[in-house]
Structure 1
Amino acid sequence: MLDRRPALTLLSHLVMILGVIIVAFPLYLAFIASTHRPEEIVQLPMPLTPGNYFWQTWHAALFGNATGAGSHAPVLRMMWISLVSALIISLGKIAISLLSAFAIVYFRFPFKKLVFWMIFITLMLPVEVRILPTYQVLSDLNMLNSYAGLSVPLIASATATFLFRQFFMTVPDELVEAARMDGAGPMRFFFDVLLPLSRTAMAALFVIQFIYGWNQYLWPLLATTNEDMYTVVIGIKRMIAGGDSQNEWNVVMATALLAMLPPAIVVISMQKWFVRGLVDTEK
């Protein structure tokens, strides 16, 4: 039976409220900044109450009507590009990792362990290490400023392959024997047995990889030179040009808040699946 102590309960709630305030206060400042004119934001002290410039700011951000020195690309377009790229990256990583882990665990072929460790070693090679040859390949294939150029180089994932391999190794051998006795081939066993068992792991990995793809900065910075193909993270950077007086900080703050919405929606909507995929041990 739990020992309920009012003092400890009050303390835990105070700590939680303090943490929420610390996290939420910068978001509040960003929202307040999006409701004021640019010249009001750069004044000291900055206003801490909402202004009367809300609709003008958010309309300029969504439809690209800003007049500052930086990029004027509409945020709706940038968010669409980020969404497509993040979905291709996350779904592509899951699909490739599932198939590669399935082959490593359930098929026999020469140098199987060597192949696995070669895949695993790529964890030590971040994007920054291979970024120049990757850029050269995409340039030669005319894939710059395209959805494929933004997503294909980031699809392969040694981490996801390792996680699915570890999960597949926990699947009882009796299931494999039962499927074989029922006449199920390898792909039938993969689709009818392994995929349903892997739903929580796929959900958890999807959340992680979606946020990874959405927040990409370095690769889209190199792979996109046209304003029409900016992702929202790159768009925020391109909006900032010159000194404070040349930037429309209210539009920048509105764009930053909009950029947080899709990852937050994915995390909130898939929270239960995400937690189950990370902590569920009943395989």
Structure 2
Amino acid sequence: MARDGMVERDRGLTVAAHALLILGVAIMVLPVYLAFIASTHPGADFLSGRIGVLPGPDLVANYAGLIGTGAGLQGFPPVGPMLWNSLVMALGIAAGKIAISLLSAFAICYFRFPFRVTAFWIIFITLMLPVEVRILPTYKVVADLSLLNTQGGLILPLIASATATFLFRQVFMTIPDEMTEAARMDGAGPLAFFWHILLPLSRTNIAALFVILFIYGWNQYLWPLMVTTDADHYTIVTTIQRLVSTATQEAPVWHLVMATAILALLPPVAVVLLMQRLFVEGLTATEK
């Protein structure tokens, strides 16, 4: 009888835990669902509160028009190229941060040079300087190099990462010294050791960081807002702000704002879903 009671209690706790998780997911998904519903109705319906809980009649028209021709009568450019700009920017930032951080951590861990530890701590201290603190001198450098309104201007100032360097350094420090000695005895040089041993062992960590850094690059707002004044180089996140600024009682484009927000949500979600297994492994793996 006692055992049956324990089983029933465990089953009750499991049901309660699942119910709590479902409630949490519903609370998080509900605003996204309402934004999607609003994006399928005419703009006037959104302002009047008549959007309901089911998709409206303008789903295809709103999204096709927004991606292909822009915001219609408001003369706003199409968001298709802006999605591409954000994708290139996010991929460039993620790949650049990972590449530079891998090489930096490799140099700090496996090479002996003067002030090696000092160099690492200087890199680490930059974590205390957010982008907003150094944004004006960074903008001055980008402007002097004629990189305003370019993909290079969007990507290059953001590809250094003290966090990724620190994480890869910690990963490399877990690799046994015997493996390094074995590679040296087999005649592997530094680059061969890096390419054939360190990179494969860091695969899951690279995948986890790629997901985080892709989302970081995709969600950039302040820097793209400063360095892009040409519509051909707008990103999707700054486009949401620009659409909001054009929304008035006479030109209700809130349905287009919601549609743009939904479109901006899709690529990061796709990256997380596609790399979910490697992402989890990279965050939870403790042994190589």
Mapping of residues 1-283 of structure 1, within 5 Å: 5-44=10-49, 46-67=51-72, 69=74, 72-240=76-244, 241-283=246-288
Q: Contact 2:37 / 2:51 at 8 angstroms: preserved in 1?
A: no
Could you tell me how far apart the structure 1 residues matched to 2:139 and 2:56 are?
A: 45
Instruction: Tell me by how many angstroms 1:45 deviates.
Output: 5.3
1:61, distance to aligned residue in structure 2 (A): 1.2
Shift in Å, 1:244: 4.2
Q: What percent identity do the matched residue pairs reach?
A: 58
What TM-score comes out, normalization by structure 2 length?
0.94
Q: Which amino acid aligns with 2:239?
A: G
> Aligned with 1:41: secondary structure?
helix
Q: Between Structure 1 and Structure 2, how many residues are aligned?
A: 282
How far is 1:3 from its partner? 5.0
Runs of 5+ unmatched residues, structure 1: none
The Cα offsets for residues 114-155 of structure 1, whole Å up to 9 and x where unpaired, read as: 111000000011110110011011111110111000010000
Residue 34 of structure 1 and its aligned partner are, at CA, apart by 1.3
CA distance in 2, matches of 1:138, 1:156: 15
Contact 2:44-2:252 at 8 Å conserved across structures: no
Question: Aligned pair in 2 of structure 1 residues 68, 42: CA closer, same or farther (>3 Å)?
Answer: farther
Q: Structure 2: which 5+ runs fail to align?
A: 1-5
- Partner amino acid, structure 2, of 1:194: L
| In 2, Cα distance between equivalents of 1:40 and 1:207 | 37
Superposed CA RMSD: 1.7
Q: TM-score, normalised by structure 1?
A: 0.95
Equivalent position amino acid for 2:274 in 1: S
Task: String of CA shifts for 1:2-51, please: whole Å, max 9, x gaps.
Answer: 95633222212221221121111111111111111111110145433322
Separation of aligned partners in 1, 2:153 and 2:76? 23
Q: Distance in 1 between matches of 2:141 and 2:235?
A: 21
How far apart in 2 are the matches of 1:265 and 1:251? 22
Runs of 4+ with deviation above 4 angstroms: none
Q: Please say if residues 41 and 51 of structure 2, whose CA atoms lie closer than 8 Å, have aligned partners that are also in contact.
A: no
Contact 1:30 1:257 in 2 (8 A): yes
Give the Cα separation in 2 of the matches to 1:232 and 1:123: 27
